[in-house]
Structure 1
Amino acid sequence: MSRFLLVVPPLTGHVNPASGIAKELTARGHEVAWTGTETILQPLLGPDAQIFGTGTRAFRALGGHGLASLRSLWEGFVVPYARFTMKPLDAAVREFRPDALLVDQHTPAGALVAHRHGLPWATLAPGAMELGRPYRALPQVEAWTAGLLQGLWQRAGLPAAEFTDPRFSPHLVLATTGRALLGDLPTSPQYALVGPVLTERSADPVFPWERLDPGRRTVLVTMGTMSDAVGADFLDRTVRALAGYGEGIQAVIAAPRGVLPAALADTVVVVERAPILELLSKGALDAVLCHGGMNTVGESLAHGVPLLMAPIRNDQPFVAQRVAESGAGLRVPFARVSPQVIAERLRQVLDEPSHRTAAKLVGRELMSGGGAVTAADRLEALVTASPTPS
């Protein structure tokens, strides 16, 4: 059996798909360890997870839209997190002695350390941001990103002549999406479009299931784990939109209670974090209103649930557009959409059968990628094909 070291950022939406792959590898008898921010990973992975902690520090909150959000992501998180974790990652590799690494695209330090030790590594792409060079029409943006990555390569002490983009393993790229959500974006031969990685998660012991009325249609509202700082105004508009529906529709809103209006209807349930997979698997949701994040979109479509999306940043506008083009949902502008338009579009998603039909079709296509099973197959093949480092 083999040893796999998983390198992930301290972001729930990135840890969850990696966790599904880890569970499949463990079930096959492989040894799996993690490296990252232990205070974030341990609650998500459970007490039995083997974690090589990289320490904890605060990073600048993501902000802005479009290219401003891209700059915020790279300069505020990706680059400083890579610098902060480089040495602990190297120590983890020396101690755990993995046969291969699975490295999230947002943690390029893992790829640099793998290269230093001559170990095979696979990329985990839990979003569509970097797939198919989305900024190929903006060469200055691509050059700026390349410069940041080359700076990390140099900081790691690696030979300049050996530079390879740490976002894309030359061996294997596992992408949790499918052609239905990539459109005509070109991909390379080493890409494996495995689709959503669905795995059983611990039941939420505090979720108020008793407040859900099976006689009403239920909408989940979630703007992602990284949108708390910018989502308050949109959520306020959403609450006003929902107020016009009366008793026929109930909403589960995943958000800090303090960002919502003080007075809410009895048909609105507010939770810090919603157990989305549990809600979906129990057939409790009729629609999802979200930011267009790949995890939420993939999980919803895998269960045939249509979407209303208000994309904020990064790959979300691209994903939302692809879903809208497929007919599996609708898209509205995050910053300026009115409560009236939110209400109108949500009613379309709920009432027009074509959206649910398209959601089921796209979901089946995504699930045909094989999820965690295919990902584990490809990782096993990666180790088998790679020579043992001296």
Structure 2
Amino acid sequence: MRVLFNTWGWPTHFYPMAPLAWALRAAGHEVLAAVPPAQTHVVRATGTPAQAVGPDLDTVAMFRDIVEGTGSPGPSGVPRASAIWLTLAESMAADLVALARAWRPDLVVFDPTSWAGPIAAAAVGVPAVRHPWGADIVGAMRARPGVAEAESAAVASLCARLGVREEAELLGRLTVDPCPAGMQQPGLTHERAPVRYVPYNGDRVRHVLPPSARPRICVTWGTTVGKVAPGRMPAGRIARTLAGAGLDVVVAVDAAQRHLLGDLPGDLPGAVEVVESATLHTLLPGCRAVVGHGGAGTIFTGLVHGLPQMVLPLLPDHRFNAQRLAASGAGVVLGLEEATDERVREEALRLLEEPAYAKAAGALGADIAAAPAPAALVPRLARLTARPA
């Protein structure tokens, strides 16, 4: 079986797919990831073959427009975020369709916001499988009145320009779902295949923390906020606040964004350790809670270790993940404007002192551990590609 993976130029959208790509290759199947040029080195660093499709677009500017409320609206009835997905699809689809017609995959696995994937699947008549990176915000958006029709019409127009006659399945034939059931959006009706979330955040440094006599909290803001809105990354201030309350703090930060933390004095009641470009899952066993921005990788990796979380979201998917986490009872959500030092300190202590948060986080962690491993999904995907006799 040949499996073509597709996502756009954001590393954190491919990382959740990587374990499935590994499982397919380990089972003897052929895998190729088609991504924009700047993403190829990220994919190849996971051990997955990569092919460049389309040009590199300034996606940072696109998301900055969302944060700032600027940018041009999309086609009638298409949400602003979906207009970005359409722009990304238009940039990649011609190359991806040509690649699919030449390589002839049996299956296309795509990031839900990378509509070029299902377009290419339609072009060669094979199933498309969605692989969300977090709680299914895209599925929830399409369930709103009129959105599915508007998105499908916009994609149908692109398909017509490319000579693709079959309808592109934007929700896929199947959704591979790494989100624990207790945190997923209720009421979604498309077919889903639960899969265990396997923590992975790139080719980074393994760092194991020594034991601490005081409660330790991990503060991490991923990499997205530092690129899109560096002025709205409060990780340094929050670390100082928590250490000032007598807690030990480890700050996980990308080396290129270390300067965004500002000065972290050493004379605080608690201790602050800054760890650059570390594998997050190796830091968290020594922690009692996580404070972050709501990225799926941070939230899910925290839940693997049963850690309650405080989330200060910025982008729409951050807010969606945060709302679903709070609904599960495993965390609290603060808007950036309400996250005063006093409120941050108060909510952090509540996470540590009220056992209900850790209990809910532990239950979600147990859900993740009980989900089928990526290797267990491989036979189901193979059956999906079986052609009628």
- TM-score normalised over the length of structure 1: 0.84
* Structure 1 residue 118 corresponds to structure 2 residue 125: yes
Displacement after TM superposition at 1:138 (Å): 5.4
Q: Matched residues in 1 for 2:33 and 2:381: separation?
A: 16
Return the letter of the residue paired with 2:218: L
Partner of residue 321, structure 1: 323
Partner of residue 273, structure 1: 277
* Structure 1 residue 226 corresponds to structure 2 residue 224: yes
* Structure 1 residue 27 corresponds to structure 2 residue 22: no
C-alpha RMSD over aligned residues: 3.0
Cα distance per residue 1:72-98 (max 9 Å; x no partner): 5434x4222212212221232234322
Return the letter of the residue paired with 2:194: L
1:38-49 to 2 correspondences below 5 Å: 38-46=37-45, 48-49=47-48
Q: Matched residues in 1 for 2:380 and 2:70: separation?
A: 36
Partner of residue 214, structure 1: 212
Q: For structure 1, which runs of at least 5 residues remain unmatched after alignment?
A: none
Q: Matched residues in 1 for 2:118 and 2:352: separation?
A: 43
Cα–Cα, structure 1 residues 330 and 377, in superposed 2: closer, same or farther, change >3 Å?
A: farther
Structure 1 residues 365-374 or 351-360, which shifts more?
365-374
Cα–Cα, structure 1 residues 201 and 47, in superposed 2: closer, same or farther, change >3 Å?
A: closer
SS of 1:133's equivalent in the other structure is helix
Q: Matched residues in 2 for 1:154 and 1:130: separation?
A: 27
Partner of residue 332, structure 1: 334
Cα–Cα, structure 1 residues 42 and 338, in superposed 2: closer, same or farther, change >3 Å?
A: same
Displacement after TM superposition at 1:185 (Å): 2.5
Q: For structure 2, which runs of at least 5 residues remain unmatched after alignment?
A: 72-77
Cα–Cα, structure 1 residues 13 and 317, in superposed 2: closer, same or farther, change >3 Å?
A: same
Partner of residue 74, structure 1: 82
The answer on whether the counterparts of 1:221 and 1:288 sit within 8 Å (CA) in structure 2 is yes
Q: Matched residues in 2 for 1:115 and 1:191: separation?
A: 20
SS of 1:125's equivalent in the other structure is coil
Partner of residue 260, structure 1: 261
The answer on whether the counterparts of 1:195 and 1:298 sit within 8 Å (CA) in structure 2 is no
SS of 1:375's equivalent in the other structure is helix
- TM-score normalised over the length of structure 2: 0.84
Cα–Cα, structure 1 residues 145 and 156, in superposed 2: closer, same or farther, change >3 Å?
A: same
Cα–Cα, structure 1 residues 66 and 300, in superposed 2: closer, same or farther, change >3 Å?
A: farther
* Structure 1 residue 86 corresponds to structure 2 residue 93: yes
1:82-231 to 2 correspondences below 5 Å: 82-130=89-137, 132-134=139-141, 136-137=143-144, 139=146, 144-159=150-165, 162-164=166-168, 166-169=169-172, 171-188=173-190, 190-198=191-199, 202=203, 204=205, 214-228=212-226, 229-231=228-230
Partner of residue 292, structure 2: 290
The answer on whether the counterparts of 2:310 and 2:347 sit within 8 Å (CA) in structure 1 is yes
Displacement after TM superposition at 1:242 (Å): 2.4
The answer on whether the counterparts of 1:309 and 1:329 sit within 8 Å (CA) in structure 2 is yes
Cα distance per residue 1:198-244 (max 9 Å; x no partner): 46965516x5x57x663343322223332113253433542442242
The answer on whether the counterparts of 2:201 and 2:297 sit within 8 Å (CA) in structure 1 is no
Partner of residue 75, structure 2: none
Cα–Cα, structure 1 residues 167 and 223, in superposed 2: closer, same or farther, change >3 Å?
A: farther
Displacement after TM superposition at 1:45 (Å): 3.7
The answer on whether the counterparts of 2:44 and 2:50 sit within 8 Å (CA) in structure 1 is no
Cα distance per residue 1:296-354 (max 9 Å; x no partner): 22221122111111122223323222222322121111343212111111121123222
Percent pairwise identity: 25
Cα–Cα, structure 1 residues 277 and 345, in superposed 2: closer, same or farther, change >3 Å?
A: same
* Count of residues in correspondence between the two structures: 373
Q: Matched residues in 2 for 1:72 and 1:129: separation?
A: 17
1:293-304 to 2 correspondences below 5 Å: 293-304=295-306
